[in-house]
Chain A
Amino acid sequence: DVKVTQSSRYLVKRTGEKVFLECVQDMDHENMFWYRQDPGLGLRLIYFSYDVKMKEKGDIPEGYSVSREKKERFSLILESASTNQTSMYLCASRLGDLLRETQYFGPGTRLLVL
């Protein structure tokens, strides 16, 4: 089974802190994604990566950056956390887009910014 793990299930940070959210997948997938999920808004794509060192902005990239130095690891960075970034963050991976394979999601990180 594909496994997508996220470094923390819960995080509490203060406004202005730099925050790193880590995601690791163990199935050699090409594509990786970061979403945030908020009540009433569903899942929204922040960034995705289709290969090592490659990244594309999603629908809401402002205030975030990403890093993909190794194929299995995709990091989401909040350069200066703000209270409006309190949310559930979900990482996902997919083999590639050629055959429209499914996305596999991690368990999520619930981030609270005070």
Chain B
Amino acid sequence: DAKTTQPNSMESNEEEPVHLPCNHSTISGTDYIHWYRQLPSQGPEYVIHGLTSNVNNRMASLAIAEDRKSSTLILHRATLRDAAVYYCILDSGGSNYKLTFGKGTLLTVNP
């Protein structure tokens, strides 16, 4: 399975943008890039996903490098409720489908 690499932790100030990086140098052409986050004492929740083009939704933006070997999750204005562990995951799909979660990045948001 293709693996991802993320920083263990990052810190941000409230109402500032946050850029969470993810490296996936062994990504294959059909792998989708998914981002999930996990708030304290909750199950993970979906944030965003993409294949090649940059993606935007109400929660965040996903910027995918041209060679697809890295991506960045962008929170445009961090709030205290965005403090969570953020997981970058590659989805290979298929009948043997499974998502491999790494350890993620713990985002701390300072007031």
Contacts and interface: CB of A to CB of B under 8 A. Distances in A.
Nearest to B31: A100
Interface string B76-106: 0000000000010001011111111111100
Interface string A72-93: 0000000000000000001010
Contact of A50 (B44, B95, B100, B103): B95
A92 B42 CA distance: 12
Q: Which range holds the interface residue count of chain A?
A: 20 to 34
Contact of A102 (B34, B98, B103): B34
Q: Is the interface of A mostly helix, strand, loop or mixed?
A: strand
Interface stretch (A14-22, A63-71, A104-112): A104-112
A103 B103 contact: no
Given A42-B102, A42-B103, A102-B34, A48 B97 contact: yes
Given A90-B43, A92-B43, A106-B43, A45 B97 contact: no
Q: Which range holds the interface residue count of chain B?
A: 20 to 34
Contacts of A100: 32, 34, 49, 91, 93
Interface string B21-36: 0000000000010101
B45 interface: yes
Nearest to A6: B43
A106 B38 CA distance: 11
A31 to B, nearest CB: 7
Contacts of B98: 33, 45, 48, 58-59
Nearest to B1: A59
Interface of B: 32, 34, 36, 41-46, 49, 87, 91, 93-104
